[in-house]
Amino acid sequence: MEKKFVTIFVIFFLVLCFISSEGNAQTIVLKALSHLPKDNLVNDPVPIFVEKVNKLSKGRLRIDWVGGPEVIPSYDQVLALKKGSIDMLIYCAFSFTKTLMPEADAKGLSELTEWEERKSGAFKLWTEIFEKRLNAKYLGRFQSIVPFMIYSNRKITSLEDFKGLKIRSMPLYVPFLKALGAVPSMIPPSDMYTAVERKVVDAFMWPRIGMISWGLHEITKYVIEPGVFQLEPATFINLDKWKTIPKDLQDLIMDVMQDMEYIGTMRAMQIVSYEDNVRKKAGMEYIQLPPKVAADLIRIAQEETWKAVIAGAPEYGPKLKQLSSKSALPKGSFPWHK
């Protein structure tokens, strides 16, 4: 009797092991990268998103955020995703997609939050563009509203002060900076500190969050207000990989993404407040441009960049401009929208 009990127990144990191993074998793993190192504050929503998806999928799917530019350089990540070398870009500035997607800079020009773009039709159009240009399923962006700022070691109080100024840039800013008479310099984020410290550039553009992660507040004197454009962190999955994911898990990922659009933006506002305090304690001075100068700065940023987007992407550029405008929101989309 005892031997029979032992035999049954062993069989039961082996069955459990088999079931467990089968379950693990069926787990879908998404190898994900971000264009910035993991510890940069801009990535704040990423671990929350990853944890939520992994937990709610109950072992059937796992996002494995393996790192950032130390794994694949930022400007090479999009091509790697298109080819299927990686499965997911979990946080990637639209500007890094521009070599393959000429419409990319339109995202930073949007007047809408990501949840508003889902109402206006812009989100649907971006989904089409990502599939066509990048072989990718566009999921959305974690943060809206946060502007890009000009951080400078030269005092700027007028548009004339920009003339000849060497400013670290990325593709989104180039038409705008050239229109101001500045000299854009394409420098990877990881090299910004050295470029500023050695006076290779006089200033740099960066979102209102994340610059202290590079220690740049220690060697920069001024923040120029107002900011321009809008933070545009894309999250997307290789389309071939996306098609292997069961529909209910696709829905789960999209549901969590939509939640994170609100959560990420709210947390970004908190980080902005925190970073402003850090910058001020470090001795940085905030320069608010006079109203007329500020209005001209924003106007030039919008006009010159849209001009470049439409010239470079005539197929989708005009439609993106239309759908990214406040006027594209259907009346009554939100209680405060009249």
Q: In CATH terms, are 27-145+231-270 and 148-228+284-319 the same topology?
A: yes
Q: What is the pLDDT of residue 190?
A: 87
What CA–CA distance (Å, rounded) separates 46 from 92? 11
DSSP 125: H
What CA–CA distance (Å, rounded) separates 190 from 75? 12
Coil/strand/helix, residue 256: helix
Q: Exposed (0-12), middle (13-18) or buried (19+): which is 326, by Cβ within 10 Å?
A: exposed
DSSP 327: G
Query: How do the domains of the chain map onto residue ranges?
Result: 27-145+231-270, 148-228+284-319
What CA–CA distance (Å, rounded) separates 2 from 46? 54
Q: What is the pLDDT of residue 27?
A: 94
Q: 46-97: per-residue pLDDT in tens?
A: 999 999 999 999 999 999 999 999 999 998 999 999 999 999 999 999 999 9
Give domain 27-145+231-270's CATH architecture.
Answer: 3-Layer(aba) Sandwich (3.40)
**Which CATH number is 148-228+284-319's, of 3.30.70.20, 2.60.40.420, 3.40.190.170, 3.90.110.10?**
3.40.190.170
The encoded tokens of residue 87 equal: 């499965």
Question: 152 has which bridge partners?
Answer: 203, 222
Q: Exposed (0-12), middle (13-18) or buried (19+): which is 270, by Cβ within 10 Å?
A: exposed
Question: Helix (H) and strand (E) counts for the chain?
Answer: 12, 11
Q: What angle do CA 99, 200, 303 make, to 5 degrees?
A: 45
Q: What is the pLDDT of residue 1?
A: 52
Question: 91 has which bridge partners?
Answer: 34
Query: Strand 222-228 vs strand 61-67: parallel, antiparallel, or unpaired?
Result: unpaired
The encoded tokens of residue 245 equal: 């994911």
Q: What is the pLDDT of residue 13?
A: 44
Q: 119-135: per-residue pLDDT in tens?
A: 999 999 999 999 999 99
The pTM (predicted TM-score) of the whole model is 0.87
Residue 95 amino acid letter: S
Low-confidence ranges of the chain (pLDDT < 70): 1-25, 332-338
